[in-house]
Amino acid sequence: MKHILFILLLFILIAGFTSCKKWLDVKPQDGIIRNNYWKTKEQLQAAVIGIYASLLDNSLVQDLFVWGELRGDMVVSTQFTSNDEINIMQDNILPSNSYTDWSPIYRTINYCNTVIDFGPSVLQNDPTLTEDQLNAYLAEAYAIRGLMYFYLLRTFGEVPLQLKATSSDSLIQRIPKSTQQEVYNQVMNDLHIAQIYAPYTYGDRNEDKGRITRYTVFAIEADTYLWMDQYDSCIAMCDSIINSQRFGLVDGTNQAEWFNTLYYQGNSVESIFEFQFDQQKLNPFYNLLISGTRHFVAAPTVMDEVFGIDMTDPNNKDIRGDGGSVNAIDGTIWKYAGATSGSTMIMRTSDQSYAHWFVYRYADILLMKAEALAWVGRGQEALDLINMIRTRAHALDYTAESPDPNSPEDISTYILDERAREFAYEGKRWFDILRICKRNNYELINLLLNAVTKNVPGYLQQTVMNKYKDVRSHYLPINQNELLVDPNLKQNPFYQ
C-alpha cells in the first residue's frame, strides 16, 4: 500500500509537470513556493515526490543519454538523427545546440532548493511530522541536488551554483559561474548532509531502488571522490555498500533470466538507484532508440571490438553483448528495446517503453572500487574485482587483458574497456573516458582521441582530433540564450 501511494502521488505530479523554456524559469508547480503551502506533512511529501517526478522528464533523461554517449565511440547516427545530435558526434558543438540547454537539470535543482528552503517550516505547523522524518525528506533533496550538480560539473565544467529556491527570473538572473572546485565542494557538502539523514531502507524494494537511500548517497560520493582522485575515500564509500551485503550481481547463468531480472523488470538486487519509468510514465527511448525513425544504433564495431565474437562457437558469448546491450543483427540498443533476451528476442512495443534509467548498480560499485584500488598500489585486488564482473557475464577470453598489477595506468585502461561492456548505453561512456584520460595532466589523452574519432567520417577525423587536443573542448558550451539573459555569465573558454 505504501508503494502504491507513492506511485499514485508521483503519477499525479507527473501529469501536472510542464517544461520551461529557459533554466531561469525553473519554479515549482504553481503555489508550491509560497509560504502558505507548507503546512502539513502530506504537502512536504508531495513536494519531495515532485523532485522525483522532475527526474522523469523526457528532456532530462534524453540529455543524460546524449551527454554520456554521443561523444563516446559506441553509437552511430541514422538518417533520422537531428543536426544537433550529429554536431555533437562530430564535435561541431555551438552554443546554439539544443543539448547545451541545462534547464531540465536546473528545474530539478530548484525543486530540491524549494524543499530545502521551505520544508523545515512544516515542523512548526504539523505536530505529526517528526524531526527525523523532516531530515529524511531533506536528505532526499540534498542528495538529488548533489547528483544534478555532479552531472552539470562533468558536462559543462563550470556552472552557476543556485542554492536558493526561486519563483522569478530576477532572483537568479545574475549568478556567475562557480569554479569546478567550488562545484565539487558543494556536491560533497550536499552529499555529506544526505549521508547523515538518508534512510537505509523504506521497507519496500521498489522504493529502495527508486528513492534516495543512504546507499545511493554512498554511490554518488564514491563516484565524486573518484573524479576528484581521492581514492581512499572512494574505496571507503564502495565498502560501505559492499559490506552491507544488501546488494549483489544478478546471476548470469541464463541470459534470458538475467536480462529479464536486471533490465526488463528492474529494481533487482543489483540496483542501487533507478529512475522509475512505468506504464503511466514512459521513457524517451522508444522514439530515440527503437522506432522506425530512431536516432541512434550501436556502432557496427561494438560486437567485434567491445564484446568479442567466438567464430567457432556461437553459444559462447558475453551475455552483455548480443541480446544484452545490442541486437547484433540490426544494431538496436537492446537494453531499452528488448522485452526478452536469450534464444527468443522480442522487442518492446511503444506502450512498453518503460525500461528504467540506471544511475548506479552494484557492478558500478565494484568497478569504481577497482579503479581506485589501482591507484593506491592494490592492483591485484583491482584485477580480482574486474574478474568477478567478467565471470558473471561469461566474458570471452578474446577480451581479457593482463595488465601489470603495479601499473595503475594499464589497469585503468582495462577498466575503461570493461566498463564499456558492462555499462554500454547507460549514459556513462563519455564520462568514463574523460575521467580516466584526464588524470595526471591527461596522460592517457590518446585513448580519448581514439574514441572521439572512431565513428566520424574520415575527412573530419583530423579536425576532430585537433579540437579534442585542446582539453577545454571536453566540456560543452553554455547555451546562447543563457548568455543573453545574464551578462555576468561568461562563455566557457574554448567557445569564446
Query: Domains of the chain (ranges plus CATH)?
Result: 2-76+99-245+482-495 (1.25.40.390)
Spatial separation of the C-alpha atoms in residues 332 and 473, rounded to whole Å: 30
Answer whether 95's CB lies under 8 Å from 317's CB: no
The residue behind cell 534516495 is 212
Please check the confidence at residue 25 and state whether its pLDDT lies above 70. Answer: no
Arithmetic mean of pLDDT, 207-228:
99
Spatial separation of the C-alpha atoms in residues 150 and 219, rounded to whole Å: 12
Arithmetic mean of pLDDT, 102-108:
96
Spatial separation of the C-alpha atoms in residues 44 and 105, rounded to whole Å: 21
What is the pLDDT, as a whole number, of residue 172?
55
Q: How do residues 291-337 score in pLDDT, each as one tens digit?
A: 999 999 999 999 999 999 999 998 999 999 999 999 999 999 999 99
What is the pLDDT, as a whole number, of residue 168?
59
Contacts of 458 (CB under 8 A, 6+ apart): none
What is the pLDDT, as a whole number, of residue 174?
73
Strands (DSSP E) contained in 65-127 are 75-77
The helix, strand and coil proportions of the chain, stated in percent and rounded to the nearest 5, come to 55, 5, 40
Answer whether 365's CB lies under 8 Å from 242's CB: yes
- For residue 175, name the pLDDT band (cuts at 50, 70, 90): confident
Please check the confidence at residue 240 and state whether its pLDDT lies above 70. Answer: yes
What is the pLDDT, as a whole number, of residue 34?
63
What is the pLDDT, as a whole number, of residue 35?
59
Q: For residue 205, what is its C-alpha cell?
A: 524494494
Nearest to 113 by CA among 136, 152, 144: 144
Which has more confidence, 269 or 168?
Answer: 269
What is the pLDDT, as a whole number, of residue 21?
31
Spatial separation of the C-alpha atoms in residues 466 and 468, rounded to whole Å: 6
Q: Which helix (H) or strand (E) holds 403?
A: none
What is the pLDDT, as a whole number, of residue 27?
40
| Start-to-end CA span in the chain (Å) | 54
Angle CA 70–75–78, to nearest 5: 100
Please check the confidence at residue 117 and state whether its pLDDT lies above 90. Answer: yes
What is the pLDDT, as a whole number, of residue 6?
46
- For residue 211, name the pLDDT band (cuts at 50, 70, 90): very high
Spatial separation of the C-alpha atoms in residues 337 and 157, rounded to whole Å: 32
By three-state DSSP, how is residue 443 classified?
coil
Arithmetic mean of pLDDT, 447-457:
96
- Could you tell me whether strands 159-160 and 177-178 are parallel, antiparallel, or unpaired per DSSP bridges? antiparallel
Question: What interhelical angle do 231-242 and 362-374 show, nearest 10?
Answer: 150
What is the pLDDT, as a whole number, of residue 486?
87
What is the pLDDT, as a whole number, of residue 57?
98
- For residue 140, name the pLDDT band (cuts at 50, 70, 90): very high
By three-state DSSP, how is residue 255 classified?
helix
The residue behind cell 558536462 is 155
Spatial separation of the C-alpha atoms in residues 490 and 479, rounded to whole Å: 11
347: β partners = 338
Each as own residue / partner, the long-range contacts of residues 456-460 (CB below 8 Å, 24 or more positions apart, any chain) are: 456/89, 456/90, 456/91, 457/90, 460/90
Spatial separation of the C-alpha atoms in residues 103 and 479, rounded to whole Å: 10
Arithmetic mean of pLDDT, 198-221:
99
Answer whether 123's CB lies under 8 Å from 129's CB: yes
- For residue 23, name the pLDDT band (cuts at 50, 70, 90): very low
Spatial separation of the C-alpha atoms in residues 230 and 372, rounded to whole Å: 8
* Alpha carbon 448 to its chain's center: 20
Mean of per-residue pLDDT scores for the chain: 93
Answer whether 476's CB lies under 8 Å from 156's CB: yes
Arithmetic mean of pLDDT, 118-145:
98
Q: Which helix (H) or strand (E) holds 165?
A: none
Largest CA distance in the chain: 71
357: β partners = 275
77: β partners = 296
Answer whether 125's CB lies under 8 Å from 40's CB: yes
- For residue 36, name the pLDDT band (cuts at 50, 70, 90): confident
Q: How do residues 41-64 score in pLDDT, each as one tens digit?
A: 999 999 999 999 999 999 999 999
Strands (DSSP E) contained in 227-374 are 271-275, 296-298, 357-361
Q: Which is it for the CA torsion 372, 378, 383, 389, positive or negative? A: negative
Arithmetic mean of pLDDT, 115-121:
97
